[in-house]
Amino acid sequence: MQNIVPHLWFDTQAVEAANWYVSIFAHSAITQVSQLHDTPSGDVDSVEFTLDGVDFSAISAGSFFSLNSTISLMVTCRSVDEVNALYAQLGKDASILMPLGAYPFSKRYVWLEDRFGLNWQLCYFETDEIQQKIRPVLLFSADACGRAEEALAFYAGIFPGTVPGYVNHYLPGEAPDARAKTNYAECTLLGLQFVAMDHGVGGDEVFNEAFSFMVLCEDQAEIDYYWDKLSFVPEAEQCGWVKDKFGLSWQIVPKSMSELLASATPEQAQRVTQAFLAMKKLDIRALEQAKRG
């Protein structure tokens, strides 16, 4: 079961982007659209959706943060034709980071930034071992360059049941930036498979709140546990958000949060919204009391 959900921050386009992605990928659907009122960003749209079996969430909350290449989505394609078909859709009005073509690691591959700013890596894999169709890729750049494996080991020590995967290293002298050690590594955390790599030339972009990961918690004890383990930057703590020691953003939220809001009247939803906006670490009991009034 997927208990970590990738979360995308857009200016105003969350619902538009989600609908576009759902139209491109098979076995995909919008599962919930809601609106939060009177937030620091005004009235914001929130959308939950599934892309080929992977759950996502997105919000339209203003231009505070922008997506960048430090987190991309790698799509496991089973043929050259599948890469070409997805590129024909996602490549519309896109910026190309690595052009469509053959590479030593794949016969058909492209890295692009789509018209909404989200990065994609479309890759033909000649193997059936990768089951998760879309996987988030963490690119450790700037001051974090060289720390990809360290980060995966850190997360493995936090999330129970972690499943390590394939790891490949740069050969001596292969990466222009000598700090870069790992050019590909896999790890599954709470049912979601991640890929991690060091930026071969170092790079200057860093993780930010535009792409975060929601950790869905069963109870307050789980919220307390993940908050204590992942929060490293006190000034980033707000509304369930934390930032870890690698700069990656997480949202530590109750699994019941979506239902809490979806089943609420407008007045109840407003009380819950105002309650969690005033919190750093989320308090399930206080949120439930706010809903009851």
Closest to 196 (Cα-Cα) out of 114, 136, 257: 136
At 127 the pLDDT is: 80
**Tokens standing for residue 3:** 């208990």
At 25 the pLDDT is: 98
pLDDT band at residue 15 under the 50/70/90 scheme: very high
At 222 the pLDDT is: 98
37 pLDDT more than 90: no
At 182 the pLDDT is: 98
Cα angle vertex 52, ends 47, 54, to 5°?
60
Please give the biggest Cα pair distance in the chain. 63
pLDDT band at residue 10 under the 50/70/90 scheme: very high
pLDDT band at residue 42 under the 50/70/90 scheme: confident
| 121 CB-contact burial (10 Å; exposed 0-12 / middle 13-18 / buried 19+) | buried
Domain boundaries in the chain?
71-198
At 242 the pLDDT is: 98
Question: pTM for this structure?
Answer: 0.96
pLDDT band at residue 218 under the 50/70/90 scheme: very high
39 pLDDT more than 90: no
At 260 the pLDDT is: 84
Lowest-pLDDT range, 62-66, 126-130, 220-224? 126-130
Could you tell me which residues come within 8 angstroms of residue 148 by beta carbon, excluding any fewer than 6 positions away? 138, 140, 181, 182, 185, 196, 197, 198
Q: What is the mean pLDDT of residues 23-28?
A: 97
At 73 the pLDDT is: 98
pLDDT band at residue 165 under the 50/70/90 scheme: very high
Could you tell me which residues come within 8 angstroms of residue 188 by beta carbon, excluding any fewer than 6 positions away? 162, 163, 165, 194
DSSP tag of 234: G
Q: What is the mean pLDDT of residues 119-144?
A: 94
Mean of pLDDT over the chain: 95
128 pLDDT more than 80: no
pLDDT band at residue 264 under the 50/70/90 scheme: confident
Q: State how far the Cα of 7 lies from the Cα of 258, in Å rounded to an integer.
A: 14
E strand map for 18-79: 29-39, 42-51, 54-60, 71-77
Lowest-pLDDT range, 29-43, 85-99, 185-199? 29-43
**CB of 83 closer than 8 Å to CB of 110:** yes
Lowest-pLDDT range, 47-56, 192-201, 211-220, 268-277? 268-277
Indicate the CATH number for domain 71-198.
Answer: 3.30.720.110
Lowest-pLDDT range, 1-15, 109-123, 259-273? 259-273
At 258 the pLDDT is: 84
At 94 the pLDDT is: 98
Question: Backbone phi, then psi, for 281, in 5-degree steps?
Answer: -75, 135
Element (H or E) spanning 155, and its range? helix 148-156
Q: What is the mean pLDDT of residues 57-70?
A: 96
- The neighbour count for residue 154, using CB atoms within 10 Å, is 15
Q: Which SS3 state, helix, strand or coil, does residue 290 take? A: helix
241 pLDDT more than 90: yes
